[in-house]
Amino acid sequence: MDDNNTRTHYNMNTFKLGILGSTNGTDLQAILDAIASGELNAEVSVVLSNRKNAYILERAENHNVPAVFISYKDKSREEFDFEMTSILKNYKVDLVLLIGFMRVLSVEFCQEWRDKLLNVHPSLLPKYAGGMDTNVHEEVLKNGETETGCTIHFVTDEVDGGPILIQKKCSVNSTDTVDTLKTKVQKLEGEAFIEAINLIHHRDTENTE
């Protein structure tokens, strides 16, 4: 009983996160772990996906986070995005994070969540903008880059073109493969998301004081 009361009181004062994802949600796990350890004063309020079998939904359910599949069948991009916005607002989300979300968002959605919508990209933008997942790491290796990393940026209607909030770097070694680079960069992504959430939470707290 006491634990539940404590949790309810804590959640009233936390920063509410909404997650959009289409894949495994590795970065979601890093965020959930940071919340559990007290590193983040936040809660993941809801996870939305356009893919019914995306593991990110199962990952959310394993942590008692509401997980919602939204079908895009017979819907325009605007209709799909309006449905997402309705759900996010229903959960009173403060900040929306894109974690492996494999859809281009409508102009209306980007405007609705302006300055409250963050994406992670697995490169040091503006390098390799527009690339996705392992394709980026393949290009990094093919081009003989000596460093790579990740970028957290605000989302606008220009793909991978919004203002950069955080970048984290790692070296590219001669022995690296696509898989080892992906592992390195994903670790950085989790760290970067945690920093970014704290920055935006601090910004919003200051703005309301």
User: Tens digits of per-residue pLDDT, 37-61?
Assistant: 999 999 999 999 999 999 999 999 9
pLDDT-above-90 percentage for the chain: 83
Query: What DSSP assignment string belongs to 188-202?
Result: HHHHHHHHHHHHHHH
The parts of the chain modelled with pLDDT lower than 70 are 1-13, 209
What are the structural domains of the chain? 2-208 (3.40.50.170)
Active site residue 201: no
Would you state the pLDDT for residue 193?
Answer: 97
Q: What stretches of 4-159 adopt beta strand conformation (E)? A: 15-21, 42-49, 67-69, 95-99, 117-121, 147-154
Would you state the pLDDT for residue 76?
Answer: 94
Would you state the pLDDT for residue 80?
Answer: 96
CA dihedral over 144, 150, 151, 157, signed as positive or negative: positive
For helices 178-208 and 26-37, angle between their N-to-C axes, nearest 10 degrees: 50
Whether the model clears a pTM of 0.85, i.e. scores above it, the answer is yes
Would you state the pLDDT for residue 13?
Answer: 66
Residues in contact with 31: Cβ distance below 8 Å, sequence separation at least 6, in sequence order: 17, 40, 42, 44, 97, 190, 193, 194, 197
Would you state the pLDDT for residue 209?
Answer: 61
CB 185 within 8 A of CB 26: no
- Catalytic annotation, pick one of 9, 63, 121, 201: 121
- Report d(CA 31, CA 191) in Å as an integer: 8
Would you state the pLDDT for residue 30?
Answer: 96
